[in-house]
């Protein structure tokens, strides 16, 4: 059975700023683009947390809701909410089958959360997921390293997705950027 999938998400902490970008493409199976303007990056917890998903759309919405519930439960503690979500995601027989990944971030931390129980904080303040994730990651690292003080986190997040969209067929140029 074919599934709906959503793809590239990029997050960055840079010069005290943080931003997350995502493209708008949703594909059905491997051949059909069903939507060009999906919103895969959202502000949560009264605008203090950014979250973005890649993977099956319905699964990702389930995870967004669960993560937001964990944020409320742990009073906005990003790391605790992420660990508790990962534990629940991995141990629950139904949730274990969800096909999605999340990047979550606040002003202090950025984390990748997966259904295998992984909660990873990057060393360099950059994460990317989805089919165009490696392209966006390479572009973002290069932009951050060589831009000096010329580019903001928001500009790097947008440019990294634009570069990924030029390479990855599952990433389009309808880019949403959110910042804290």
Distance CA 158, CA 95 (A): 32
Options 7, 8, 27, 171, the catalytic residue: 7
Specify the pLDDT at position 156: 98
Helix (H) or strand (E) holding 48: none
Active site residue 27: no
* pLDDT tens digit at each of 180 positions of the chain: 445 456 799 999 999 999 999 999 888 777 788 888 888 999 999 999 999 998 777 777 788 889 999 999 999 999 999 999 988 887 776 666 667 789 999 999 999 998 777 899 999 999 999 989 999 999 999 999 998 789 999 999 999 999 999 999 889 999 999 999
Q: Is the dihedral of CA 13, 16, 17, 18 positive or negative?
A: positive
pTM above 0.85, yes or no: yes
* CB atoms inside a 10 Å sphere around CB 33: 12
Tokens in use for 133?
């994730």
59-80: burial string, b at 16+ Cβ within 10 Å, e else: bbebbbebbbebbeeeeeebee
Nearest to 75 by CA among 63, 84, 86: 84
Which residues are CB-contacts of 66 (< 8 A; sequence separation ≥ 6)? Answer: 85, 88, 89, 95
| pLDDT computed for residue 116 by the predictor | 78
For residue 2, the model assigns a pLDDT of: 46
């Amino acid at each position: 059975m074919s599934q709906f999938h959503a793809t590239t998400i990029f997050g960055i902490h840079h010069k005290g700023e943080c931003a997350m970008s995502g493209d708008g493409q949703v594909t059905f199976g491997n051949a059909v683009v069903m939507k060009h303007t999906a919103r895969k990056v959202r502000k949560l917890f009264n605008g203090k947390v950014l979250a973005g998903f890649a993977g099956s759309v319905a699964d990702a919405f389930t995870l967004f809701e669960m993560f937001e519930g964990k944020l409320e439960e742990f009073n906005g503690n990003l790391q605790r909410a992420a660990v508790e979500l990962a534990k629940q995601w991995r141990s629950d027989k139904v949730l274990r089958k969800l096909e999605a990944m999340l990047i979550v971030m606040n002003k202090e931390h950025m984390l990748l959360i997966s259904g295998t129980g992984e909660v990873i904080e990057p060393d360099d303040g950059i994460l990317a997921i989805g089919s165009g994730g490696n392209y966006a990651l390479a572009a973002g690292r290069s932009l951050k390293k060589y831009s000096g003080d010329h580019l903001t986190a928001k500009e790097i997040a947008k440019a990294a997705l634009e570069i990924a969209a030029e390479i990855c067929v599952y990433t389009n140029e309808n880019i949403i950027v959110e910042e804290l």
